[in-house]
Structure 1
Amino acid sequence: MKTLLYSYIMRNDEGFAPNPYYGVLTLATCKPQLRKNSNVVPGVWIAGWLGKNTERDGKKYGSSEHKLIYLARITDKMSIASYWEHYPQKRPKRNSGSIISNGKCNKCGSRYINANRIRENDVYYGDNIYQPKFKNAIKPEDFILVSNSNYHNDGSSQENDIKGQNVLICEEFYYFSCEKPLIIPFNILDKIRIPISQSGTGWKTIEPIDFISYVRDTVNIPSKCPILYNKLI
């Protein structure tokens, strides 16, 4: 089977979508077309890129250059109702302590940033925010929104989030953040199809082997290492 990569521009990077904590990166909210796409299955890679207007905590980190916020390989794809049951550690909690240090996630020296992403002292964190009212819940009205620290807390995103139907589970991932995105050499970047603006599913690249290898190798380079990662090979 050919290696596939779906790339998209990220509007916000709050550590919520994707959520790279507890040793596994998950995409449970936003990007409904990507999560629902029948071609986005285990084994496929997804990449979030810095755009001209990418924000975090209201601050703009946008760039006209394509820089990598994260790369992840999908290892499982499950319904939102199943995600609630199987990943209780991803449910929002108050005063849960340092969630980055839990699980099997690695952090890399000076590139590890805590800042306001966790807000450990007084907020809820985690992307498992939709509690099903019954086992096979599928419609927006079938779920209860759990209080959380993100803008999804007001309920305005519930219909759009549930429309995606699935949660993407990525056990192998490399999360750099919009604050310290990875610059990709042009000879590698030139082979990757990246949209210039927001797109539903993102743009597909076939056999992005050099790109994946380059990102994987950054875990051994202190100046380029992801702030959070889980390398399986």
Structure 2
Amino acid sequence: MAIIFVRRAALKVWTYVITVDAGAAPNFEHGLTTLTVCKPRIRKAAERGDLVLAFNSSKLNPDEPHSVRWAGLVTEVVSLEDYWTDKRFEGKKPGKSPKPDNIYRPTRTGELKQVSNTTHGPQDFARDVNGENALVLSPTWYFGPEVAVLPASFNLRMIGGRRGHRCIPITDRTWSNLERWLNVNVPSSSSLKSLSAGASRCSPRSNNVACVN
């Protein structure tokens, strides 16, 4: 009997520059890391098994542009409609969270309505819902204000423009080395308490997107 080997698709790394880290995007509450608002193109295209990795902006770290703020593996891709009704994410709704990301309620007509919240306003509606999905990530690595500079050898640094995002496939060997780097360099879990208490707005909208094949 012939044995057929199916080659697993390469893991993709989605990188972007985070300008505000106020606890909503990503949201680490209730033991579940989620990316539900902002970064619509990543949320719309990322698949289970992909890695999302965010670099610090000059606002968060003016000295080191290649320092990592956070990273996480996508374990679930949940539609915004299902995200609202899923009991696991109930605690991320307005009134139950200081920085809610579960802010889009499905209506009887099949549309989404933004509920009153402290994270995003009406001007953010189109960008958020265009992402279609919420990403659930595990494990996640949060570096916060710690300076963890991603080595250039991974070829994942955002050079030649830091707006939008990049999508880069990597080999299993590269992922093994990257995972090791994340595990070794991530600070203790107590660093989650270092989330900024500043404005909750996310990175500015950008159409400059590059996907490296």
Q: Which TM-score applies when normalising by structure 2?
A: 0.74
Q: 1:50 to 1:25 in 2, by over 3 A?
A: same
Check whether the contact 1:34–1:200 (CA below 8 A) recurs between aligned residues: no
Q: 1:63 to 1:21 in 2, by over 3 A?
A: farther
Give the alignment of 1:56-95 within 5 angstroms: 61-86=61-86, 87-93=89-95
Q: Please tell me whether residue 48 in structure 1 is matched to residue 71 in structure 2.
A: no
CA distance in 1, matches of 2:127, 2:150: 35
Check whether the contact 2:30–2:91 (CA below 8 A) recurs between aligned residues: yes
Aligned to 1:33: 41
Check whether the contact 1:176–1:182 (CA below 8 A) recurs between aligned residues: yes
Aligned to 1:108: none
Gaps in structure 2 of 5+ consecutive residues: 1-7, 194-213
Instruction: Count matched residues.
Output: 178
Q: Please tell me whether residue 204 in structure 1 is matched to residue 212 in structure 2.
A: no
Q: Please tell me whether residue 7 in structure 1 is matched to residue 9 in structure 2.
A: no
CA distance in 1, matches of 2:113, 2:63: 37
SS of the residue corresponding to residue 183 of structure 1 reads: coil
Q: What is the RMSD of the two structures over their aligned residues, measured on CA atoms?
A: 2.3
Matched to 2:80, the amino acid is I
Aligned to 1:133: 107
SS of the residue corresponding to residue 158 of structure 1 reads: helix
SS of the residue corresponding to residue 183 of structure 2 reads: helix
Shift of 1:194: 2.4
Aligned to 1:176: 143
Matched to 1:125, the amino acid is K
Q: Deviations over 1:38-72 (max 9, x none)?
A: xx211111101112244xxxxxx434431111010
Q: Deviations over 1:110-152 (max 9, x none)?
A: xxxxxxxxxxxxxx43210111113x83xxxx222222222x1
Q: Deviations over 1:147-166 (max 9, x none)?
A: 2222x1x2110011001111
Q: Please tell me whether residue 23 in structure 1 is matched to residue 27 in structure 2.
A: no
Shift of 1:176: 2.1
Aligned to 1:213: 180
Shift of 1:11: 2.0
Shift of 1:185: 5.8
Matched to 1:206, the amino acid is I
Give the alignment of 1:96-135 within 5 angstroms: 124-134=98-108
Q: 1:198 to 1:213 in 2, by over 3 A?
A: same
Correspondence for 2:115 among 143, 146, 153: 146
SS of the residue corresponding to residue 127 of structure 2 reads: helix
Gaps in structure 1 of 5+ consecutive residues: 55-60, 97-123
Q: Deviations over 1:9-64 (max 9, x none)?
A: 11221111111221111110111111111xx211111101112244xxxxxx4344
Q: Which TM-score applies when normalising by structure 1?
A: 0.68
Identical residues among aligned pairs (%)? 24
